[in-house]
Structure 1
Amino acid sequence: MATVRGTSVDIPTQDGTADAYLTHPDDGAPHPAVLFYLDAFGLRPHIRAMADRLAAAGYTVLVPNVFYRHGRAPVVELPEFIAAGADPGLFERLGPIVGSLTPEQTERDADAYLRWLADSPLVADGPVGITGYCLGARLALLTAADHPERVAAAAGFHGGFLATEAEDSPHLLADRITAELYFGHADQDPALPAEQIDRLTKALTAAGVRHTAEVYEGAHHGFTQADTDRYDAAADERHWTALLALLERAL
């Protein structure tokens, strides 16, 4: 594993400036890019550590604060360890912020993130990969659909609301996707019940999208997040194995 260098960067967007974390092998060379979409808790030390681990495998990783319209990270003050029920007001504060991010905003922001990566001397020529967690899995699916010419691989872990009955559900864009997809679903996840997993799989299959969808038995929503009480070490390591294999194939 390579030694990495992480820095804070600002990315101009159509709607303002997105603060972000950039991490890459500390060798001065360009590497394939990975756009990392975080979960609802936002940009914080654990997310930076995950990005560093990914960068150490040979990638230039960009983690934007997707909630930048509400302020720089941390948008909401978080405890060092996030436990369900410890702060009932936390989700009340997060809910409106998460709910305000529309598919249209996501597409505009992804334009900016991908353009920034394309212009960076730390990024190798070629397509990019995406990984997303919780809310980020939804953003990964939307970005793969909106930018098929740029995205070669997209992964989503313990994603929520990926195949709802809403008119703007991400699964309805399956026919636009050319990337290879991987999903690691948690089977104890009310945000993505079995009927949505089935609906997503059928949409991707009908559209001819190369994809793998695995259900991690016994895992809860948030199983990759070690700073929460939903963390599952075995499921997390399984996620790393799947993610790195996908990126190696595609990038």
Structure 2
Amino acid sequence: MTSPVAFHAVDIPLPDGTADAYFAHPDDGGAHPGLLCYPDALGLRPWLREMVETIAAHGFAVLAPNFFYRSGHAPVVPLPDFREPDAMGTFFAAVAPARAELTPDKAMQDAHGYLAWLSANDLVAPGALATTGYCMGGRLALRTAATFGDQVAAAASFHGGFLAAEDRPDSPHHTAGDITAELFIAHADHDSSMPPEDITRLEQALDTAAVRYASVVYPDAEHGFTMRDTPAYSEDAYARHLHDLLALLNRAFAPE
């Protein structure tokens, strides 16, 4: 059963400036479990608003920040029609400076502010929070779980890239031993940023650290399968992602 949702465009004060963000929650005046939702690198846009509202309708207070706020208000780069040839490559070349500014340390500095904003909000239930993310946001979600320990009860990554890249300092497998949250990690079976050997490396790191997790590969899915405004979108994979995410959150926030 879903609930009517209230949506707000909000500003989050942070040490390096102000991050614009989406915030959605059930429109019932109550306090609900908080979820920090990291977008993909395409950032805040109409489809992300729809995703945030969909999750919120199931009983969660969801904050999705513009993690490129140092480069401006979202969208920091105008979004093209991704059906056009070379549109994706052109976009990522344009957004590269904003991505470079978001270093691993800066990302976790921001995460502290996002989590604090949620924890201080009267519409968010007291206690631990959860986080989820898409593409590069999936990597940020797992790093947030490792950095903030017991403050994060659950973390999910959907088509996250470079989750077990040994040459990347922000690769989550390096900090698996710091994770106390339950994890859900969904990979696409057609994703060059997470080949099978990297999935195995990630799972080995999580096993060694005795992390509670599920790591699954969605069949017939491409990197970006949740994003309806890109050619990678898969209706079946999106629906499965929503089911799996809500199951994780409901476990994390089940009454004791």
What is the TM-score when the length of structure 2 is the normalising length? 0.95
Unmatched 5+ stretches in structure 1: none
> 3-state DSSP class of the match of 1:106?
helix
The share of aligned pairs that are identical, in percent, is 52
Aligned to 1:43: 44
Q: Return 223-232 or 86-95, whichever deviates more.
A: 86-95
> Which structure 2 residues correspond to residues 34-113 of structure 1 after superposition, within 5 A?
34-79=35-80, 81-83=81-83, 85-87=85-87, 88-113=89-114
Structure 1 residue 86, shift from structure 2 partner:
4.7
Structure 1 residue 250, shift from structure 2 partner:
0.4
1:197 corresponds, among 199, 202, 205, to 199
- Runs ≥4 residues deviating over 4 A: none
Are residues 1:243 and 2:242 paired? no
Deviations 1:138-170 (A, max 9, x none): 000110000012100000000001110125122
Q: Alignment length, in residue pairs?
A: 250
Structure 1 residue 217, shift from structure 2 partner:
1.4
Structure 1 residue 39, shift from structure 2 partner:
0.1
The 1-side partners of 2:163 and 2:225 are apart by 17
Are residues 1:213 and 2:215 paired? yes
What is the TM-score when the length of structure 1 is the normalising length? 0.97
- For 1:200, give the aligned amino acid: L
Unmatched 5+ stretches in structure 2: none
The 2-side partners of 1:99 and 1:245 are apart by 34
The 2-side partners of 1:98 and 1:183 are apart by 23
CA RMSD of aligned residues (A): 1.1
The 2-side partners of 1:212 and 1:19 are apart by 32
1:183 corresponds, among 182, 185, 206, to 185
The 1-side partners of 2:101 and 2:205 are apart by 26
Distance 1:239 1:167, change over 3 A: closer
The 1-side partners of 2:46 and 2:85 are apart by 21
The 2-side partners of 1:2 and 1:8 are apart by 19
Q: Return 165-174 or 12-21, whichever deviates more.
A: 165-174
Are 2:70 and 2:101, in contact at CA under 8 Å, matched by a contact in 1?
A: no
Are 1:84 and 1:229, in contact at CA under 8 Å, matched by a contact in 2?
A: no
- For 2:126, give the aligned amino acid: D
- For 1:60, give the aligned amino acid: A
